[in-house]
Each structure stands twice: as C-alpha cells, then as structure tokens.
C-alpha cells in the first residue's frame, strides 16, 4: 500500500516553456502532499506543502508565481514550472501523507531545460 506515482518521469523542454508534473496517490487519500526539489549530491529541499482545496504553502525563497501548485482532489496534486529556465533543471519529487507525518514519495521527475 501507500503508492505514489508521478508523471512524467523525465521531461526535456526548451527555455521559456511551462512544464506540468502530476503527483497521484494510487491506493489512499492523501491529506497533504509535498513538493521537493533535489540538485545533484544535495539533500531534499522542500518547496511547498499542498492541501486539497486550499492554496499551497510555499517555503521561504520559493517563487509561488513560478511554481504553481494545484491540489484538485485528495489523490492528485500538480506542479507547473512556468517559463522554465536552465537553472530550473532539477529532480522534482512529490510525497503524500497517509497519517499526518508519514510521507511516501513518488518516483520523481527529472526536468532538463535547454
């Protein structure tokens, strides 16, 4: 149980385009979903916390107009990277909580912006 999927697993796009990443909890309803970013050889950096039906809470230093989060249902959250630039290239990972604190991670999306 507690399976989280992400789509796409890998995306390559041109600078200036927008990219949408989906995160789904497949066998449970998630009270909260989280979005992380990870650069090579670094630990996870929390970007935002997402609750169904409400606005996401962004961490300090994360631009909410650039990283749009929509949490449409208890099983789906999306992250849209708007006007992506090469510095946005990273590994984006979502997680979902079954209870308030146990987080299960999706497989991640590797974004490369040319």
Q: What residue ranges bind other proteins (CB under 8 A)?
A: 31-32, 34, 43-44, 46, 49, 57, 91, 93, 97, 100-108
CB count within 10 Å of CB 21 equals 23
Please enumerate in sequence order all residues whose Cβ is within 8 A of that of 57, keeping only pairs 6 or more positions apart, or say none: 48, 49, 50
Q: Which is nearer to other proteins, 3 or 83 (CB)?
A: 3
Q: How far is the CB of 32 from other proteins (least distance, A)?
A: 5
Q: Which is nearer to other proteins, 46 or 83 (CB)?
A: 46
Would you state the structure tokens that stand for residue 112, as one six-digit string?
Answer: 């490369």
Q: Which is nearer to other proteins, 82 or 91 (CB)?
A: 91
The residue among 55, 25, 39 whose CA lies nearest residue 112 is: 39
Q: How far is the CB of 70 from other proteins (least distance, A)?
A: 19
């Amino acid at each position: 149980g507690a399976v989280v999927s992400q789509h796409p697993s890998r995306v390559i796009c041109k600078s200036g385009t927008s990219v949408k990443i989906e995160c789904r909890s497949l066998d449970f309803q998630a009270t909260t979903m989280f979005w992380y970013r990870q650069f090579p050889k670094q630990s996870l950096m929390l970007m935002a916390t997402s609750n169904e039906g409400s606005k996401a809470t962004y961490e300090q230093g994360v631009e909410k107009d650039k990283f749009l989060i929509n949490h449409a249902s208890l099983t789906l959250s999306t992250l849209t990277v708007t006007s992506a630039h090469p510095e946005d290239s990273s590994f984006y990972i979502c997680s979902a909580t079954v209870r308030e604190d146990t987080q299960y991670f999706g497989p991640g999306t590797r974004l490369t912006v040319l």
